[in-house]
Amino acid sequence: MTKRRRSSRSTRRRKKSSSASQRWSRLRRWGLLACGFLLAIFSLWLVHLDREVRQKFDGRKWSVPARVYARPLELYRGLSLTPELLEQELRALGYRPVERVSAPGQYARQSAGQITDYRIATRGFEFWDQTEPARRLTVSLSEHKVTGLNASDGANLVRLEPEEIGGIFPAHGEDRLLIRLEDVPPLLGGALLAVEDRRFLDHRGLSPTGIARAAWANLRAGRVVEGGSTLTQQLVKNFYLTHEQRLRRKVQEAFMALLLERHYSKAEILETYLNEIYLGQSGTRAIHGFALASQHYFRQPLSELTPPKVALLVGMAKWASFYNPWRNPERALGRRNLVLQVMANENLISAAELEQYRQAPLGIVPSSTYSRQVYPAVIDLVNRHLRRDYRQEDLQSEGLRIFTSVSPMVQRQAEQAVQERIKRLETAHGVVDLQGALVATSVGSGEVLAVVGDKNPRFAGFNRALDARRPVGSLIKPFVYLSALEQPQRYHPATLISDEPVTVTAQNGQLWQPRNADLKSHGDVPLYQGLAQSYNQASARLGMQLGLEAVYDTLRLAGFEGTIPAVPAIILGAVDMTPLEVAGIYHTLAAEGVYTPLRIIREVQTAEGERLRRYPLALEQRFSPQASYQLQYLLQLALREGTGRRVYEQFPHELMLAGKTGTTNDHRDSWFSGFSGQHLAVAWIGRDDNGVTPLTGASGALQMWADLMSRLPTQSVGLEPPENISFDWLDSTTGLLSAEHCEGAAWLPLRAEYQPTESAPCRLASGGGRWWQRLWR
């Protein structure tokens, strides 16, 4: 009985043991299955991470914005240039004044009497047509001209590198200048590794000692005071991941760092880090990479940075906004000096250099000049022209190099003219809401030199130079008079036209009754006087004699493509145009009747320098040289003795200028368009709500135009008449031949085959006549 019980208990124990063993076996199998499943998931995750790492690193890493460059300053003997303008150009390019030139990007000035010498070490640049080498040169300036140019290689023409004036950025706003590792200064690479990751060349993506050291430091401090991330981990965080502080993200970062090190060399990782690191902000534009940061903070390429500047950039890699040298200069200085100390500890600089560099200023450019999007109105026009030929996505991501005709010298003067003149006008007249726009071009080539679309030139909003369509007023009159001069058998500059009141019945039955600004009639006046004095009644009568179709045709031939209302009032400017459109049609007048579409883009290249497209000069003679010359002469009279005569308060009398004022109803718009032999500019002043202003064309826009042109070294309008044009004295009361000392005689250009044959009676004049007309004799 006892044995039976023992056997039963033993059997039960064996059954229990067998059952437990089975359960353990099942658990183990499930555990192994779970581990296998988790391992498979982990493996798939690693494969996914590996694919993500390689796919982005092997492909196009970044969307690089298009770079927009201004025209380079070309130096040659005879160039009109002042010392002030040359130094402005050099400073804008980041050249540094020194006592003795020793490296590219430096210049030294020396004056002796009337001659100013500049010794310059240029940087060189790869242009669309050739590579401009770095060279040493001496430029001598005297009487607002380059009188001497001696280059180290004997060149007679030297181009400085073009100023980068903006870009066309991706939607995410990241901006960077890509740099190859072999072009990185050794001091920068050494300092970066010394500060951020001393064991970079030894570890495989993770640094256990670094992690342990950071953990111990943080534990002792009771807060996060030190990071243990390697430079590779920092790259992963910035290049692939977000900045959230979660365990899952840190684990992912660690494995991606290991994978990155497995597939790519240290050189590839370091080069990518140097181009990826975030180092600041310019408005909505994020500054990435050391190459762009060097330009952003110092306006210098990396190769020209001194050790203290290198130390500042390296120090900012830890926390760019916290060490922003403009907002937190003392904090940035302390961080820079700490980096200098590390550099000395690593024997990158000597102890003596450490003490010297600690005393150096930060050396950053003023905060008001750090933005590379310096001319928003210009970039707006460039972008519009480019969109005709390129997709916006390509402009924002392919790193295209856009070379333009914009002259930084002219642009800066134009912006200053708009800002200062509008401020003075608002103060003088007690108003605060005036706005302005200005467009400047080169005469002959039709290249746009400057665009200002707001009294605040940095404002990237409504661009009045391109989008403010306003009635042009009397700016239209030269095209009416050109229509007449193109009919030489009927009209010459002294042909009489009536300035008596005129009434015209329009097709809708409304009466059009224009009146002169002075509300007076002046009887019969010669053609030149009707335009110079901007008589509305005389101009209206002339336009109606010619016919509206003739005026339409002249505007179209001059290059205007907008809407022209079919009403008589167009003769006096009831046509809406933008300042840019006005510049286009006036350029045809300035270019002696040759139509040239205005252009701002010269060349487009890929990021590697391959030419994509050129925008060559296109010319077409649309008006006779004779009529064009006569009209230019009449526009010179408008500035000598007509509505624009106040302009010579700012110019020497021997400088021949031509132009026309424009004022619309109730003084809502103040216009002026004028040109020299070298520059054309159109100025507009008004209010955005189309309200009344206290300004005429002469008291507003003309003054702004003169502010610009008086600051530019420029040349007179050409005096040499074309074939079949000769000058003679004509009587202003009869339009017949006269003589120099006769009363009312005017020295005017005539077509030889259509000169008057009769002479008017001569009464000797008591005054000296128009002395300046002798310049044509």
Q: Is 759 helix (H, G, I), strand (E, B) or coil?
A: strand
Separation between Cα atoms, residue 353 and residue 346, nearest integer Å: 13
Q: Mind giving me the DSSP string for 486-538?
A: T-TTT--TT-EEE-S---EE-TTS-EE----TTS----EEEHHHHHHTT-HHH
Among 294, 474, 539, 670, the active-site one is 474
562 Cβ contact list (under 8 Å, min separation 6): 469, 575, 576, 577, 581
Separation between Cα atoms, residue 776 and residue 750, nearest integer Å: 13
Amino acid letter, residue 421? R
**Over the Cα atoms of the chain, what is R_g?**
37
Contact in structure between 759 and 737 (CB atoms under 8 Å): yes
Contact in structure between 600 and 405 (CB atoms under 8 Å): yes
Whose CA is closest to 687, among 425, 428, 435? 435
353 is catalytic: no
Whose CA is closest to 529, among 505, 498, 502? 498
Among 89, 161, 163, 196, the active-site one is 196
| Environment class of 188 (CB within 10 Å of its CB; exposed 0-12, middle 13-18, buried 19+) | buried
For residue 494, which phi and psi values (nearest 5 degrees)?
Answer: -110, 10
Q: How far is CA 131 from CA 120, 384, 607, in A?
A: 18, 29, 15
Separation between Cα atoms, residue 73 and residue 90, nearest integer Å: 10
Contact in structure between 580 and 561 (CB atoms under 8 Å): no
H or E element, residue 164: strand 164-168
Q: Sheet containing 658-663: give its strands across.
A: 448-452, 435-442, 679-686, 669-675, 658-663
Whose CA is closest to 687, among 416, 432, 378? 432
Contact in structure between 700 and 669 (CB atoms under 8 Å): no
474 is catalytic: yes
Catalytic residues: 196, 474
